[in-house]
Structure 1
Amino acid sequence: MTDRPSSRDEKRTAPWWLPSYAGLFLGFLFFILTFTPSLVPRPPLFQGLLGGLAFFIGYAIGHGGVALWRYLELPELPRPWWRAVNIVLALACAVAAVVYLPQAAAWQDEVRARLDMPPAEAASLLLVLCTAILVAILLMLLLRGLIAGFRAASALVYRWMPRRIAALLGAAIFAVLLVTLVNGTLISATITAIDKAQALTDVTSPPGAIQPTEVTRSGGPGSKIAWQDLGRAGKRFVTEGPRKADIAAFTGRPAQEPIRVFAGLRAADSPEEQAELALADLIAMGAFDRSILVIATPTGTGWVDNNGIAPLEYMHDGDVATVAVQYSYLQSPLSLILEPGRSQESAAEVFRVIYRYWQSLPEERRPKLYLFGLSLGSHGSEASPPMYAWLGDGFDGAVWSGPPFRNRMWRSIQRDREEDSPAWRPVFEGGANFRVIGHGDSAQDAHKDWGRVRIVYIVYPSDAIVFFEERMLYRQPEWMAPPRGEDVSPLLQWFPIVTALQVGIDMMFAAEVPPGHGHDIAAADYIEAWTAVSAPEDWTGEDASRLADKLQTEAAKHSSSW
């Protein structure tokens, strides 16, 4: 007569596909915590996506923790105690649901108010729950399938090896096969599909784009770069921006026609050839006879924010030349993931080619040289000047807005900031060379006078693209410590793993907020930055206010058409 299996053996031999109570409890707790406020409001569909993902991660941690405990054959609680523990955990989840869920709508509206957004319409909790359940079930089924695959591979190896070695070797074999399949087939097919779709978009013309008739714009008469080779973003760049008459009407002074050069991705076969083509256009248009030359690094799609360049053209009476070279047609997040280093390599090559020619000119007659970049553009632009360009015969300054959390220089400024300055508005070396402003701030105020190189970062505290960091998974970031930024909710709390997921989702909506918040840079802040960096003559605060209203109105009018 055989002995009855112990409760411990019963747990070990339970079917692998049964749900894990520890996983369910931890997953439900993670799900509830996702309703707490973060940096920007989330639509119901994405709240459901976030909730389902958080539930799955919590479930995987709980289930995996129990599985590891049993695999190591550590002592377990008796069955009656487990029942008591499960009851306590169930009650804790119920209390969390009662405390957190009723406040979800109010929390979202509090965040919206700080971002100058109207209260949200009544969100459908049913939509959130259904989305979360669907996402969680799909991910759990995927996890269960992977577990089944690992078990099957281990069972095959177990015929020739001890159990634990077979488990590890079988898991390794299955992992290698899985990665080979996914990388070689699924990911490759997905990347190819995305690439083809974005490439087709890039060859089209945005609504309202018109081939320029001025000789001072790429794609126009005499340009070395054909209109069809500008790409979608390039056509927008040369179509936008003030003309000579617009500037003269605004300032009441004589103006020149601003120069805008853009080399699209298809204009040449390599970044160096693109840069040489752009340089040829600059020379032909007389860009090096202007008082200011700007090397602008675009975002992933090739977009250059008109509000980041137009202020400089207005305040310097059109005596400005701007050049940009496209390095991708993918959205910035995709370009950062699928083409790592591309923005930096392209920006460095463009800077090298143009700087070399600029440096060869007599110092007294060459233009001041500035850099510009928004978001992924700042990532590339920040890394473009070599060390010798910072010293001696160097460039004059830069405006970098919305720097992604991957920007090395930005992270260094945050890390080495003065002790009494917050992480969301760091002060570095008294502001002698680097100054950070938010919405409505002045770049003129600093402990020290400007040095030879003037750099202004435009950063909003609610910008998840700037302030996301991997360490949020296990520790509270410094920017959450009081005092917080003016548009960051005091109700935002840090939770391990969950807050990192929230801010990660926030990155998707960082630009879907009013200007002056998140990742949407206000024209007034660009004007303030360029005023500090380029020091225009006869420029007043009243001029800045009028121009900000003008540019913001024009941007709102054209936003839907582009």
Structure 2
Amino acid sequence: MFTPSLIPRPPIFQGLLGGLAFAIGYAIGHGGVVLWRYLELPEVPRPWRRAANIVLAVACAVAAVIYVPQAAAWQDEVRARLNMPPAETANLLMVLLIAAISAVLLLLLGRLVTGGVRMASAWVYRWMPRRIAGLLGALIFVVLLITIVNGTLVSAAISAIDRAQALVDVTDPPGAAVPTVDTRSGGPGSSIAWQELGRAGKRFVTEGPRKSDIEVFTGRHALEPIRVYAGLRAADTPDEQAEAALADLIRMDAFSRSMLVIATPTGTGWVDNNGIAPLEYMHDGDIATVAVQYSYLESPFSLVLEPGRSQASAAALFRTVYRYWKGLPEDSRPRLYLFGLSLGSLASEDSPPIHAWLGDSFDGAVWSGPPFRNRIWRAIQRDRDEGSPSWRPVFEDGANFRVIGHGGDASKAAADWGRVRMVYIVYPSDAIVFFEESMFYRQPEWLVPPRGEDVSPLLRWYPIITALQVGIDMMLSAEVPPGHGHDYAVADYISAWSAVTAPEDWTDEDAKRLATVIETDAARHSGSW
């Protein structure tokens, strides 16, 4: 539990991991004893059992003496790879205390569950043989527990979280203001009211460069970028939200622009400005971007508690916009692109129907931080070209799909670009991308050398433990500097979009200047959001 993983762990998470690992180990051992006795196998004599327990206890103590003092050094080695300063003096007492408390609480919970199973088995034993009663009693108790938890506790929790997040969603982010230009939803002439945008939508239409900012950067004439957003309150269903967004696009003459981007947000509706602003600068503001909110919840909650909701929303928006776009003259309609970060990339991947990949296809996509459940991303990893690692897979020489990391160049590949250009931005230390359920019992391929540039060589695979570590890493993956974990850097978005959209006369020097401009602007407004 003290060994390093992908992301440095603060003391509280280190302690929780330790308590969880202890409880799981105890449960495995206790479960093995119960199964042994249920099968009525011959038991080890009591003196031997006592001796074995003493040997195991001493082994655990020796392991703790060896590993615990190294914990701080291991964590600092990971921090150095992620360009983070060394941690303050490790509070070992806090870690051990949290581990002990969490382990005790989990063991008490386990005792309650086993007590319930015994009570149910004793009740069934009145009518059935003992061994059958044990199995049937356990089954009855588990079914009742799942029914109660799913039907009552989970439902109540979902409702409470949803209500709380909905109250937050109606507030205005600090610094956000009703747009004064007619190229933003919520502004003059928009069919979507300011209060219907939601908190993330208000931020999206407030952020981003204006015409004057782009002209200062390029020295050329620019257009005012179009940003359309429909919040959950804009309509009752995903299809109606999509229609409201399309109405704003048409009203703002978005289909006369050179490019149209369908952006799928993360759980709360947030669209990463770093993923959209580079396009607006690169192409002199001749861009329209549209997004629709599908949840009030953070992405992990939305993924678990609202399965399929993000995909349904993204599919509705794509279907609505694509149908209108396809009906326009091919030589005058904008090029069509997709964008998504994290859970947004999962939904964006699934949004085009099969016919939108053929014939009148969209033109490309940039997807960053694809969760480990992304269907296309997993296929690219599985069917990658021989010799390429799973953390930086090459697929069919990069003809249609290319994968870059921090500082990567998506314009370079063995094959020339095909008709559709798609780039994934993936950092090897991003646990949201590289978690696998099979890690509980099998080493993942991304741990086989050579490893990703920001993955520690000290990271070793252990059954169960490594999966728990990377699972906790997912909770901390955005708490790192840009370019690592799940914090995607603007420079990498610039590289991806320049390869996908091929702006004219674009240079490496332009890319560096643009990254500085956007990062400076983000730093200036960081306190506002």
- What TM-score do you get using the length of structure 1 for normalisation? 0.93
Residue 399 of structure 2 aligns with an amino acid whose one-letter code is: A
Look up the match of 1:14.
none
Q: Is 1:280 paired with 2:247?
A: yes
By how many angstroms is 1:123 displaced? 2.2
Worse-superposed segment, 150-159 or 382-391: 150-159
Residue 90 of structure 1 aligns with an amino acid whose one-letter code is: A
Conservation of the 8 A alpha-carbon contact between 2:38 and 2:131: no
Q: Is 1:392 paired with 2:359?
A: yes
CA distance in 2, matches of 1:73, 1:52: 32
What runs of 5+ residues in structure 1 fail to find an aligned partner? 1-33
Which of 328, 337, 344 is the matching residue for 2:311? 344
Look up the match of 2:52.
85
| Partner secondary structure for residue 295 of structure 1 | strand
By how many angstroms is 1:405 displaced? 0.3
Q: Deviation digits for residues 418-442 of structure 1, max 9, x if unmatched? A: 1200000000000000000000011
By how many angstroms is 1:484 displaced? 0.3
Q: Is 1:193 paired with 2:160?
A: yes
Conservation of the 8 A alpha-carbon contact between 1:217 and 1:260: yes
Q: Is 1:35 paired with 2:2?
A: yes
Residue 66 of structure 1 aligns with an amino acid whose one-letter code is: V
Which of 299, 305, 314 is the matching residue for 2:272? 305
Look up the match of 1:61.
28
Which of 110, 113, 121 is the matching residue for 2:80? 113
Look up the match of 1:239.
206
Residue 372 of structure 2 aligns with an amino acid whose one-letter code is: F
Worse-superposed segment, 46-55 or 87-96: 87-96
Map residues 473-552 of structure 1 onto 2, 5 A cutoff.
Answer: 473-552=440-519
Look up the match of 1:20.
none
Which of 437, 440, 451 is the matching residue for 2:418? 451
Residue 321 of structure 2 aligns with an amino acid whose one-letter code is: I
Q: Deviation digits for residues 322-376 of structure 1, max 9, x if unmatched? A: 0001111100000000110111111111000000000000001000000000000
CA distance in 2, matches of 1:515, 1:284: 37
| Partner secondary structure for residue 337 of structure 2 | strand
Map residues 25-424 of structure 1 onto 2, 5 A cutoff.
Answer: 34-424=1-391
By how many angstroms is 1:100 displaced? 0.7
Q: Give the CA RMSD over aligned residues.
A: 0.9
CA distance in 2, matches of 1:355, 1:153: 57
By how many angstroms is 1:80 displaced? 2.5
CA distance in 2, matches of 1:463, 1:553: 25
Conservation of the 8 A alpha-carbon contact between 1:302 and 1:327: yes
CA distance in 2, matches of 1:530, 1:187: 41
CA distance in 2, matches of 1:150, 1:163: 13
Q: Is 1:558 paired with 2:496?
A: no
CA distance in 2, matches of 1:180, 1:386: 36
CA distance in 2, matches of 1:397, 1:184: 43
CA distance in 1, matches of 2:509, 2:117: 69
| Partner secondary structure for residue 134 of structure 1 | helix
Conservation of the 8 A alpha-carbon contact between 2:176 and 2:206: yes
By how many angstroms is 1:91 displaced? 2.2
Conservation of the 8 A alpha-carbon contact between 1:271 and 1:327: yes
- What TM-score do you get using the length of structure 2 for normalisation? 0.99
Q: Deviation digits for residues 243-264 of structure 1, max 9, x if unmatched? A: 0000000011110000000000
| Partner secondary structure for residue 232 of structure 2 | coil
CA distance in 2, matches of 1:429, 1:332: 31
CA distance in 2, matches of 1:465, 1:306: 20
Which of 394, 405, 408 is the matching residue for 1:438? 405
CA distance in 2, matches of 1:302, 1:112: 30
| Partner secondary structure for residue 266 of structure 1 | helix
| Partner secondary structure for residue 532 of structure 1 | helix
CA distance in 1, matches of 2:504, 2:249: 25
Residue 397 of structure 1 aligns with an amino acid whose one-letter code is: G
CA distance in 1, matches of 2:418, 2:448: 31
Conservation of the 8 A alpha-carbon contact between 1:373 and 1:401: yes
By how many angstroms is 1:78 displaced? 2.0
CA distance in 1, matches of 2:380, 2:527: 36
Conservation of the 8 A alpha-carbon contact between 1:522 and 1:552: no
By how many angstroms is 1:559 displaced? 2.7
CA distance in 1, matches of 2:142, 2:368: 41
By how many angstroms is 1:79 displaced? 2.3
CA distance in 1, matches of 2:318, 2:234: 18
CA distance in 2, matches of 1:556, 1:59: 48
CA distance in 1, matches of 2:117, 2:51: 33
By how many angstroms is 1:101 displaced? 0.4
Residue 273 of structure 2 aligns with an amino acid whose one-letter code is: N
CA distance in 2, matches of 1:331, 1:560: 20
| Partner secondary structure for residue 238 of structure 1 | helix
Residue 497 of structure 1 aligns with an amino acid whose one-letter code is: I
Q: Deviation digits for residues 40-75 of structure 1, max 9, x if unmatched? A: 001111111111111111110111011111111112
By how many angstroms is 1:310 displaced? 0.3
Q: Is 1:472 paired with 2:439?
A: yes
4+ residue stretches of structure 1 with deviation over 4 A?
none
Residue 504 of structure 1 aligns with an amino acid whose one-letter code is: G
